[in-house]
Every structure is written in structure tokens, then in C-alpha cells.
């Protein structure tokens, strides 16, 4: 996770500390690249807190980190899990021009629950973020959680909406309440339900679907990327 550990948003499902972030650390990108080299990663997932306090939402640091990782680790596939940058396409383009291999932005939940769960984020803005990356020919990925109070028809709709954006990879997992102060768990989805949603999402045309109680955004991330071209270079370096 880059750009610090304090988020400017206060989503009610997330355990990351919210508040006023410290000063920006411009020396972070090469440190991240070196850490990836030391771990010998073939596939790395970069994410960040939301930095609405910065004019570009942290996009320049995102781009610098991607480029630093690429220079230091040319055989490592780079997956990015980004915030919405308030839907500003110029900031999204700053990240995309650094050429990550997979562009991930999580929708998190169904449309009705966006405001109580994600606060300042919106359903349509997140779909537009994914659409913009897809229009620039990037491999796109997103994720949702079950157990926040969603209805079955709402889950069906969010999967259909993501499929309509030509999403490549989808993760579906169980919401787990980080603390008593966070949104309570409304229900526990069964393994059978997760399997049914996987079949449904694949039938809608989404290429790769990971669906299960323990699934998270980076779950089997390297395996998910197979079939999208760049994974061949990581296999060669294994």
C-alpha cells in the first residue's frame, strides 16, 4: 500500500485509519521497487489509501511507483488497485500512462449500499473509472463483497453492469466486520451461493471469476492474469 496509511475517506467497511495524512513521501517509489525485488515477486499488487487532500489524488506518485517497479523488476507483472480519483480522467490517465498490466478498481457493493458503505464514492463514478481504463485497452478488474445487506437481484445487477463494461476479472468475497464500529455483517453467504454467482458472472461474459468466502482483491492474482499476454513473461522468469 502506497501513499501512507491514513485515508482521507471513512468507508464504513474498511479498517484503514482515516484522517489527515502526513506529508507526502516522494522517496517511496524506489523503496517499493526494491522491496518487490527482495521478495522476488513475479506478480505484484499495488494499492493505496485515498488521498483527496492532494491536487491529483496521488496520481503522480502512483505513476512514479509503477515506473520504478518496472525499471527494477522488468519481469514482474504489475497490478494496480486504485481509488476513484473523484472520477477525474486526467488523473486516471496519469496512472494509465505508466502502463500497469492490470487495472483494478473495486465497486465493493451494490448500487443501493454505496452511500452508507463507501460514503463519498458513487456507483456510476466507479463504473466510469473502469470504463475509461477499458476504453484505453487495459485489462480491467473489480471486486464486490457479500454480506452488507444486499439483495439477490441487486447482486445480479452489479454483475451485469460490470459485464456490460467488458470487465475481464471479478472477485466476490464475504464481508468481514473489522471492528464493532464498522458496518455490521448482515449475513453469511454460503459456499454454494458463491459458486452460483461465479457461474452467473462467467455466463455474463466476465473472463475470470474468483468467488468464495475468503476471496479478496489479490486472491490468486497471478493465476487470474493468465491468458492476458503479459503473464507469459512472468512464467518465463519463474
The DSSP code for 186 is -
Residue 209's DSSP bridge partners are 170
Among 73, 76, 237, 105, which residue's Cα sits nearest to residue 171?
105
pLDDT of 231 > 70? The answer is no
**Rounded-to-integer distance, Cα 233 and Cα 66, Å:** 17
Q: What is the pLDDT of residue 229?
A: 56
pLDDT of 236 > 70? The answer is no
Mean residue pLDDT across the chain: 92
- Chain segment 117-173, per-residue pLDDT in tens: 998 899 999 999 999 999 999 999 999 999 999 999 999 999 999 999 999 999 999
Residue 52 burial (10 A CB sphere; 0-12, 13-18, 19+) = middle
Average pLDDT score over residue span 189-212: 97
Among 129, 178, 236, which residue's Cα sits nearest to residue 16?
178
What's CA 148's distance to the chain center, in Å?
A: 18
Give the pLDDT band of residue 18 (cuts 50, 70, 90): confident
Residue whose C-alpha cell is 448500487: 111
Residues shown for the chain: 238
Helix boundaries (H) for 99-190: 114-118, 123-135, 152-164
Domain limits, the chain: 6-236
pLDDT of 232 > 70? The answer is no
pLDDT of 100 > 80? The answer is yes
CATH assignment of 6-236? 3.20.20.70
- Chain segment 43-82, per-residue pLDDT in tens: 999 999 899 999 999 999 999 999 999 999 999 999 999 9
Amino acid at each position: 500500500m502506497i501513499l501512507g496509511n491514513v485515508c482521507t475517506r471513512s468507508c464504513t467497511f474498511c479498517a484503514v485509519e482515516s484522517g489527515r495524512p502526513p506529508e507526502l513521501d516522494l522517496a517511496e517509489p524506489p523503496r517499493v521497487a526494491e522491496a518487490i525485488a527482495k521478495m522476488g515477486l513475479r506478480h505484484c499488487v499495488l494499492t493505496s489509501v485515498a488521498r483527496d487532500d492532494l491536487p491529483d489524488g496521488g496520481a503522480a506518485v502512483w505513476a512514479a511507483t509503477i515506473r520504478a517497479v518496472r525499471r527494477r523488476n522488468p519481469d514482474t507483472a504489475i497490478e494496480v488497485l486504485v481509488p476513484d480519483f473523484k472520477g477525474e480522467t486526467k488523473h486516471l490517465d496519469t496512472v494509465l500512462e505508466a502502463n500497469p498490466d492490470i487495472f483494478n478498481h473495486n465497486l465493493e457493493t451494490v448500487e443501493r449500499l454505496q452511500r452508507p458503505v463507501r460514503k463519498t464514492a458513487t456507483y456510476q463514478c466507479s463504473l466510469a473509472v473502469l470504463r475509461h481504463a477499458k476504453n484505453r485497452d487495459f485489462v480491467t478488474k473489480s471486486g464486490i463483497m457479500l454480506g452488507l445487506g444486499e439483495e439477490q437481484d441487486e447482486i445480479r445487477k452489479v454483475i451485469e453492469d460490470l459485464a456490460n463494461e467488458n470487465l475481464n476479472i471479478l472477485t466476490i468475497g464475504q464481508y468481514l466486520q473489522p471492528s464493532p464500529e464498522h458496518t455490521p455483517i448482515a449475513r453469511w453467504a454460503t459456499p454454494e451461493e458463491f459458486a452460483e454467482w461465479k457461474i452467473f458472472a462467467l455466463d455474463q461474459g466476465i473472463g475470470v471469476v474468483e468467488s468464495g468466502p475468503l476471496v479478496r482483491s489479490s486472491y490468486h492474482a497471478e493465476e487470474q492474469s493468465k491468458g492476458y499476454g503479459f503473464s507469459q513473461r512472468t512464467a518465463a522468469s519463474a
